[in-house]
């Protein structure tokens, strides 16, 4: 007879809801900021590689932050890292509003890279806090952990997708500086509300936690982190620079009105992609029929889904080669193919997010999640750089083929994980 699912403590559930709400607010601003920066500087004539540079420090900061954020949370508590992430994002937005159009390209790139680096630190502090809270607060048994992490991750990405559209709309209607100041103001109000009304339920931290404990001795966690790195590299290779720049070249006629129209369409597509991706993530436990399955079996499911993912960018790269330049049929094929990529990618991402929490323990959760997201940030950093380089050197075909190589590498790593059936879903 199956034991009844343990009910979460009321204060724990309230803390989970508060953390989720704060995370939603942060990701809305994060998505809007990314689209603002990308479209604004692309309209100013920045090359694909220069656009990639704008985001490199953002991703590099994520590697360093996640390496230490798990230890900081274990030492000082999850609420401290959550508040620090929100506060730092507000400061980054306020700094970005000081950007002067009269600066040289080199000065503008350096300044935006620095601000994006601060924003990257902020994002990963908030992400690690929110994901770790799920392990601590979720009731045990009957697949509840998978469902809770899938809902948090899926809803977060839906909100971030709305942020992509919001950023494009604000840029078109209000301009760069006004949009940035508006986001900083709203986020400041949310930080104040969360700080005033955060209930109890999250760990307060332990003074004896050592920095060297951030490295995991569990082979499953290390391999999963490697697979995660290549998985997110596969997405960002086309997502960060390649596809937005291609769409803008197709949609804009070079006039200010044409540029604004392109902002709306590109922002709408990127938003729809992220929102659909988030919805699939939230539904992933049902799609893979995870209830009652051990973590070992779900690990094998992860390998099958990433193998399927590998095929899609290679097929799209072949279509781009056949087209030999922008065309209507290629644009339609890309939209359909990238939506399919998003569906399969979302299943992979959600399964990974569950497995890292299933493999770790409550005592090590912040450090193992931090290490895992350090690998995630390394993949995004690699994908961001390759996005600009591959698109500039070989156009859309090379950009998409590179994504296929990264997805294939993720499959090679994840299939080496030795499932332990004793870890229950």
pLDDT tens digits, one per residue of 19-59: 777 778 878 888 888 888 877 787 777 777 777 777 777 77
Q: Residue holding tokens 């992220």?
A: 274
**Cβ neighbour number for residue 393 with a 10 Å cutoff:** 12
Q: Which residue has the higher pLDDT, 77 or 5?
A: 77
Cα separations (Å) of 39 from 165, 262, 279? 12, 9, 25
Q: What is the dihedral of CA 120, 220, 283, 5, to 10 degrees?
A: -110
Reported as a single tens digit per residue, the pLDDT across 260-283 is: 777 778 878 887 888 888 888 888
Q: Is 236 exposed, middle or buried (0-12, 13-18, 19+ CB in 10 A)?
A: buried
**Cβ neighbour number for residue 4 with a 10 Å cutoff:** 9
Reported as a single tens digit per residue, the pLDDT across 204-241 is: 555 555 555 566 677 888 899 999 999 999 999 998 88
Reported as a single tens digit per residue, the pLDDT across 164-216 is: 888 888 887 888 888 888 888 888 888 888 777 766 655 555 555 555 556 66
Give the tokens for residue 332.
């339609």
pLDDT of 408 over the 70 cut: yes
The predicted pLDDT at position 320 comes to 92
The predicted pLDDT at position 334 comes to 92
Cα separations (Å) of 343 from 86, 233, 273, 310? 30, 16, 9, 13
Cα separation, 139 vs 285, in Å, equals 16
C-alpha angle 128-133-134 in degrees, rounded to nearest 5: 110
Instruction: Report residue 4's pLDDT band, with 50, 70 and 90 as the boundaries.
Output: very low
The predicted pLDDT at position 232 comes to 93
- Asked if residues 201 and 137 have their Cβ atoms less than 8 Å apart, the reply is yes
Reported as a single tens digit per residue, the pLDDT across 295-341 is: 677 888 888 999 999 999 999 999 999 987 778 889 899 999 999 99
Reported as a single tens digit per residue, the pLDDT across 384-406 is: 889 888 998 998 999 999 999 99
Q: Which residues contact 246 (CB under 8 A, 6 or more apart)?
A: 326, 334, 391, 396
- Portion of the chain with pLDDT greater than 90, in percent: 17
Q: Residue holding tokens 């959550």?
A: 82
Instruction: Report residue 347's pLDDT band, with 50, 70 and 90 as the boundaries.
Output: very high
SS (H, E, C) 184-221: HHHHHHHHHHHHHHCCCCCCCCCCCCCHHHHCCCCHHH
What mean pLDDT value characterizes the chain? 79
Cα separation, 172 vs 93, in Å, equals 18
């Amino acid at each position: 007879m199956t034991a009844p699912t343990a009910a979460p403590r009321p204060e724990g559930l309230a803390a989970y809801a508060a953390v989720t709400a704060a995370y939603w607010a942060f990701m809305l601003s994060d998505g809007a900021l990314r689209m603002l920066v990308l479209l604004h500087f692309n309209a100013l004539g920045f090359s694909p590689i220069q656009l990639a540079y704008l985001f490199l420090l953002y991703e590099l900061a994520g590697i360093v932050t996640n390496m230490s954020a798990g230890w900081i949370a274990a030492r000082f508590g999850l609420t401290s890292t959550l508040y620090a992430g929100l506060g730092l994002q507000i400061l980054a937005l306020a700094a970005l509003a000081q950007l002067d159009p009269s600066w040289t390209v080199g000065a503008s790139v350096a300044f935006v890279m620095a601000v994006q680096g601060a924003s990257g630190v902020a994002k990963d502090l908030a992400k690690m806090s929110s994901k770790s809270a799920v392990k601590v607060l979720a009731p045990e048994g009957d697949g509840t952990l998978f469902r809770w992490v899938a809902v948090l991750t899926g809803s977060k990405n839906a909100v971030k997708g709305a942020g992509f559209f919001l950023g494009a709309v604000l840029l078109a209607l209000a301009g760069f500086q006004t949009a940035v100041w508006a986001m900083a103001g709203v986020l400041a109000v949310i930080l104040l509300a969360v700080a005033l009304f955060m209930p109890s339920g999250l760990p307060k931290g332990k003074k004896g936690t050592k920095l060297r404990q951030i490295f995991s001795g569990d082979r499953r966690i290390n391999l999963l982190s490697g697979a995660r790195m290549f998985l997110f590299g596969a997405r960002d290779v086309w997502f960060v620079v390649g596809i937005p720049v291609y769409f803008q070249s197709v949609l804009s006629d070079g006039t200010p009105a044409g540029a604004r129209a392109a902002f709306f369409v590109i922002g709408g597509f990127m938003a729809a992609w992220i929102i659909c991706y988030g919805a699939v993530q939230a539904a992933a436990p049902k799609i893979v029929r995870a209830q009652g399955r051990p973590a070992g079996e779900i690990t094998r499911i992860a390998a099958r889904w990433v193998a399927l993912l590998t095929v899609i960018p290679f097929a799209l790269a072949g279509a781009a080669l056949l087209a030999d330049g922008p065309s209507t049929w290629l644009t339609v094929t890309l939209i359909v193919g990238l939506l399919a990529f998003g569906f399969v990618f979302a299943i992979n991402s959600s399964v990974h997010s569950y497995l890292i929490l299933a493999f770790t323990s409550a005592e090590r959760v912040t450090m193992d999640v931090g290490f895992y997201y350090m690998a995630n940030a390394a993949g995004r950093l690699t994908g961001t750089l390759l996005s600009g380089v591959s698109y500039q050197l070989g156009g859309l075909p090379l950009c998409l083929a590179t994504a296929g190589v990264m997805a294939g590498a993720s499959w090679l790593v994840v299939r080496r994980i030795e499932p332990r059936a004793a870890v229950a879903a």
